Structure 1
Amino acid sequence: MLRLLKVLVFLVVVGFVGLVGFAYLGDLTPDQTVVSESLTLDVD
């Protein structure tokens, strides 16, 4: 039972370190493009 608990704690720690590493090193910035659309206003 103690071995299972150690493995579970190890997996949680490794998962947390991986998540933090991905948050700092992963490039999640979206590609930015200019969007322009003409608009015709119907003014009376």
Structure 2
Amino acid sequence: MFTKIKNSMFNFCMFIMVIYSFLLSYFLSYFINFGVKSLLLV
């Protein structure tokens, strides 16, 4: 029982980490693109 709960918590944490890394990479690429455009305008 305890190992099952521990395993489900681990899977949940991995799921959160994957979503977080995906969002982080998306926002990083967006801000880098925005920064390059602003630098080109200046």
TM-score range, shorter chain: 0.5 to 0.7
Which digits, 9 at most, give the CA deviation of each residue in 1:1-44, with x for residues without a partner?
00000000000000000000001002468xxxxxxxxxxxxxxx
Structure 2: give runs of 5+ residues left out of the alignment: 1-6, 38-42
**SS of alignment partner, residue 19 of structure 2:** helix
Q: Which runs of 4+ in 1 moved over 3 A?
A: none
Structure 1: give runs of 5+ residues left out of the alignment: 30-44
| Structure with larger Rg | 1
What's the counterpart of residue 19 of structure 1? Answer: 25
| TM-score, structure 1 as length reference | 0.58
Q: Report the aligned-residue RMSD.
A: 1.6
